Chain A
Amino acid sequence: MGVTEGTMLELPPYARFLGVSAERDDEAALLFRMPFGETVVGRPGFLHGGAIAGLLELAAVGTLRDALADEPGASVKPINVTVDFMRGGRERDTFAAARITRLGARIANVEAFAWQEDRDRLIASARMNLMVRRA
């Protein structure tokens, strides 16, 4: 569970499985962290692309749900995601954050980014389209 200042972001069981946690940075934006471990390893010494994609999706969905937090009953459902892999992820913590490009009445477009030691050197990014259902 990501415990945050002021508000809580509830992460799903899959996030706990990956070891992903969420916190807020200085500007109150959600920052997701995934530690390295046997659960997320691909070829020896590198993160698995599937785990990186999973982290990016958690960041995108979590950030969108957080933006809808003041609308009780609102839910989101992924339509599709495109993941680009730029660099191999190494044996260290991986961070992710997302930006909502547009939050419409029915559809949300979200971008997510993953990096390790340097936020300017992305290891992967994703574009995700989601359906928004409002109560």
Chain B
Amino acid sequence: MAGYAFISPFIIGFLCFTVIPMGASLFLSFTSYDLFTPPKWVGFDNYKAMLTDDEKYWGSLKVTFYYVLAGVPLRLAFALFIAVILNRAEKGVGIYRTLFYLPSIIGGSVAVAIMWRNVFGNDGVINGLLFFLGFDKKIFWYQDPTSALWTLILLSVWQFGSSMLIFLAGLKNIPPMYQEAASVDGANRFQRFFLITLPLLSPIIFFNLVMQTISAFMTFTPAYIISKGEGGPLDGTLLYSLYLFQRAFNFFQMGYASAMAWVMLILIGLVTFILFKTSSLWVHYESKEG
């Protein structure tokens, strides 16, 4: 019983802030509820309306998948690339590691979102530098839905530092004798990376891929700040959670938004499941007796 005494805060919190809200959310997703009048049972109407009659919904789904599919692999690839470069004995490596990690620490803040908005603004840093370098054409990042979304993707790639640290820790655990043996056998740098480093690191890459994919699906703050809560232009940055937020707290459609949340939960579950299924194809687990 002593065990339960110690973990009781978790159990109470889990029931009050996870289990009960999830049950309530599932119930609400089958109702029409505006917070002020009691919820009205509508069956599957919310789900039906969402999937068959809401273009904005499909738009936000598309934008979110674009964001996840482009952002997460780019971020992980960049993190791995830098980790491999930094994995050497050299003066200053620690300083570089610190500097590269800094964006991860500040990246989620409103201040950085405001900064990013102005970096890509019509008279922002990018266009300012372009002009300075002699180009007189400006890029209007926030007038085109796709380029506006790419500013969000770049913001997520910019925060590659935490994955980089995890990869660095993984790289240090690879025994140097593997690389040495391969060198002796005549493997060049690329072969050593693709045939030794990558397979040995694949469990860590996989774990990161899963965690980052889940959190990318839920990105809210940068889209909210950069588009000033609108998700524009032309819903180009209307990420799923931003649209859900609008439905719930701008239009007070709590039932509809709850249904959206459940579809999101199922989608994330599905994507995670697929990732786990495909992992046996490329994730290399070293056998224990090896």
Q: Do A and B bind each other?
A: no
Q: Which A residues are closer than 8 A to B by beta carbons?
A: none
Q: Which B residues are closer than 8 A to A by beta carbons?
A: none
